[in-house]
Each structure stands twice: as structure tokens, then as C-alpha cells.
Amino acid sequence: MKNLWRIFAHKDSLWSKWVNIIKLKGRDIWDIEAEYNDSWGWKHLLSLRSKIKHRVHLIKRNNVDCFQWITNSGKYVNFSSHQVWIDLKADNVKVNWAHVIWFNYLDPKQAFIIWLAKLNRLTTHDRLENWISGQNFKCALCGLVKDSVCHLFFSCEYSSKVWRKIKERIIFKGIPNSLPEIMNELAKFPASNHIWSIINRWVVAACVYFIWQERNFRMFRNEERKEDVICSVIVNFVQCKLMSIKVKKSSAVMKAASLWNMRWIDNKLVLN
């Protein structure tokens, strides 16, 4: 949008001068059509014209043509990328589970994997078979059926053992055993820095991440770890995360310390 504005407003930049003299050759940017051999970038720039043409207002300042931007509220203001973004950005519906994944205490790589799982965008067998035909896909963890998000988290015999073992360490009455239902239940609670709010989200993200990692290790590295090993990896991860934050002594913190084999010292949880 900013580049398009530079062209029709004849801004003092080498690029806009080149476009007006060499590319347009005196023609109006609003009237020309994209040509077959034009670059993708130029075609895309021209496609943006319809979005802003009705928002451009021409005024005279000292006998010089000046252009103003018309905001959503009808005000005439000087052009700025910030204002254009505010006026043209899509008003997407906010999802109620965003805080379950995107929060300061979670590692970005784990947040990314659980986000893909929530959107069913992981490259699981049920999606791969739409692209690759004739393959007899079997879950790398149980070897019984093709994998999917619902199967891996946590219907698979392997992953269900991991989940049942790990969820003994969290306080969440009636927590479900499938990822979509777990996410829905967690989304019902507001985002907070309460110790159990953080731990519950850590545990779910870690289970998804390390089970997905184990699945890929088996498929691409021919490496295999037992359920107890994955459980230990998840426990160690949560313990390390707990040691990285400061907490005030409370009944909730002491309960967490007990379940995760830790103790409270000087506003921190440390390993026993």
C-alpha cells in the first residue's frame, strides 16, 4: 500500500520516479491493466488499487496536489502505514483457546507444535494419504492403525499410557483424554499466573510435543524410547520450567512441589 501511495502521490523517491517515468510512461496508475509479462509483485500492487481508491482524497496545498487518507470513521488524515493497517485489517474472530497455547512461560517450539495439532495441521497419516496414494500407513507408536491428531493425542496405546501417567501430577478434576476436549476444557479457565494454570498448560504442551517428537524419531531416525522414558522427559521438562520462575509460598505451590518431587526455598521451587 505504501509503495502504491508513493506512485500516485509522486513521492520524492528514486523508485517512484522510475515507476512513473519508465514503467507508466505518463499513464495513470489507476487506469492501467496488468500485462502478461509483468512480475508477480507488480501484479499484486495493481490488485490493491480497488481497496484504497475510494479512500483517497485529493486536495490542493499551495497549488500542489496532495492526497489524504479517509479513515473508517470518515476523517481525512495524512497517509501512514499504521492508519492503513488499522482501517484495512481483517476483523478475525478471536479464538477462546489462544491463551492455552500462547503465553510467556511456554517455549515457542512447543507452542508451535500444539498450535498445529489444535488446527489439525500436523503431517499425520490421515492428511498424508490425501497426497500419497497406495501407502499402508501405520502409527509408528502402536503399529495398529494410521495416525491422526486424535489418535496420537491420546487414543494411541502408547500415548494414552504416557498421558495417564503424567496427568496424575496435575490438579484438574475430570480432565478428558483427547486433545480437542482437553483444549476446550482449559479454554474455559481465564489466563492467569496461578501455579496450576501454568502447570496444566505446560503439561499438555509437553505431552503433545514429546509424543510428536517420539513419533518422528521412530519414523525418520529409527530410534525408540519406552513410555517411561518419555514420561521422565516430560517430568524433567516441567521441573526445569518450575525452577525457572519465582513463586510465593502458598498451599497451591506446596501441593505442586509435592506432586513434582520438589520443595520451596527462597521464592523458588527446587528439586528434592
The average pLDDT across 110-119 equals: 96
How much is the pLDDT for 257?
A: 94
pLDDT band per the 50, 70, 90 thresholds, residue 92? low
Query: Among candidates 115, 87, 88, 83, which has minimal Cα distance to 99?
Result: 115
Cβ(155)–Cβ(178) under 8 Å? yes
What nine digits make up the cell of 184? 476446550
Given the DSSP bridges, would you call strands 76-77 and 64-70 parallel, antiparallel or unpaired? Answer: antiparallel
DSSP 8-state secondary structure symbol assigned to residue 188: T
The average pLDDT across 132-142 equals: 87
pTM of the model: 0.71
Distance CA 228, CA 233 (A): 9
DSSP 8-state secondary structure symbol assigned to residue 19: I
Identify any residues that bridge with 58 across adjacent strands, giving them in sequence order: 67
pLDDT band per the 50, 70, 90 thresholds, residue 91? low
Distance CA 19, CA 153 (A): 54
How much is the pLDDT for 28?
A: 87
In this predicted structure, the answer to whether residue 240 has a pLDDT above a threshold of 80 is yes
Q: Which residue has the cell 494414552?
A: 160
Is 112 in a helix, a strand, or coil?
helix
Domain spans in the chain, listed from the N-terminal domain onward:
2-88, 98-271
C-alpha 24 chain-centroid distance: 41
pLDDT band per the 50, 70, 90 thresholds, residue 63? confident
How much is the pLDDT for 177?
A: 94
How much is the pLDDT for 133?
A: 75
Query: Among candidates 114, 101, 103, 202, which has minimal Cα distance to 153?
Result: 114
Q: Secondary structure of the chain: what % helix, strand, coil (to 5)? A: 50, 10, 40
**154 upstream amide cis, omega within 30 of 0:** yes
